[in-house]
Amino acid sequence: MNEPSKHHRPIRSFVKREGKLTTGQKNAIEQLWPTHGIELKAEPLELAAEFGRDAPVVLEIGFGNGLSLADMAEAYPDLNFFGVEVHRPGVGSLLVQVKQRGLQNVRVSQDDAVQVLEQQIPDASLHRVQIFFPDPWHKKRHHKRRLIQPDFVTMLVKKLAPGGHIHVATDWENYAEHILGVLSQNADLCNTSSDPSGYAPKPEYRPDTKYEKRGIRLGHGVWDLVFEK
């Protein structure tokens, strides 16, 4: 994932990797995008109008295949879930789940999360921002591409409602240490963990993702970080 830059490079939250759509994913996009998709526009969204109700909004950045997001939307029907994922097969996969489960509390964007945050998410409007297993860019020369950087976190904090949370999970210890440092240095955030390590117990609402299961198979630990505004 590429990172916010102060100067000439455009800010992006991803590196484009595209794959082919299955027939089911293609059909789900064609059928559900008019009701569940959100196009990028240079004006703030009326989130209550987009969801057809006023409820706390959880923004997930980079939802992958969408299975864990669908699980959360099904388990927590009183929350609105806004998923942002640039990879079209992932969008299609989530919409397949939305269709199969009849989920009405999910909306989807296929645009860059930084643009969505800057242009569409109203300030102080989000109940939670969750980023599960972002690309760790484990080679040192690529660390500047990591998503969680001070400027990006400042943007997230601006969009959180008072008492809102940023929740990041990773299976790379070095990235966990980096994320902990970045979140801890933001004066508007407070670590919810009382553990001396700074890492939080896995919240009940977060399902096991395929990336977490993969990491465990590879012998990696999993680190959750939950900070409150």
pLDDT in tens, 54-86: 999 999 999 999 999 999 999 999 999 999 999
Say yes or no to pLDDT of 43 above 90: yes
Return d(Cα 111, Cα 16) in angstroms, integer: 11
Nearest to 93 by CA among 70, 119, 113, 65: 65
Sorting pLDDT into bands at 50, 70 and 90, what band is 194? very high
Per-residue exposure over 119-140, b if at least 16 CB sit within 10 Å of its own CB, e if not? ebbeeebbbbbbbbbbbbbeee
- Is residue 170 annotated as involved in ligand binding? no
- Is residue 123 annotated as involved in ligand binding? no
Assess contact for 135 and 175: CB atoms under 8 A.
no
Residue 129 phi/psi, 5-degree rounding, is -115, 125
Rama region for 168: left / alpha / beta (φ>0; ψ in -120 to 50; rest): beta
Assess contact for 45 and 109: CB atoms under 8 A.
no
Q: Within 13 Å of residue 1, how many CA atoms lie on the same side as its CB? A: 23
Rounded average pLDDT over 14-26: 77
- Is residue 139 annotated as involved in ligand binding? yes
- Is residue 20 annotated as involved in ligand binding? no
- At 210 the three-state DSSP class reads helix
Give me the residue spans of the domains in the chain.
23-228
Q: Which residues are catalytic?
A: 135
- Is residue 85 annotated as involved in ligand binding? yes
- Is residue 171 annotated as involved in ligand binding? yes
- Is residue 229 annotated as involved in ligand binding? no
SS (H, E, C) 118-167: HHCCCCCCEEEEEEECCCCCCCHHHHHHCCCCHHHHHHHHHHEEEEEEEE
Rounded average pLDDT over 99-123: 98
CATH superfamily of 23-228: Vaccinia Virus protein VP39 (3.40.50.150)
Assess contact for 37 and 110: CB atoms under 8 A.
yes
For tokens 């997930």, what's the residue? 60
State pLDDT tens for residues 132-170: 999 875 666 757 778 999 999 999 999 999 999 999 999
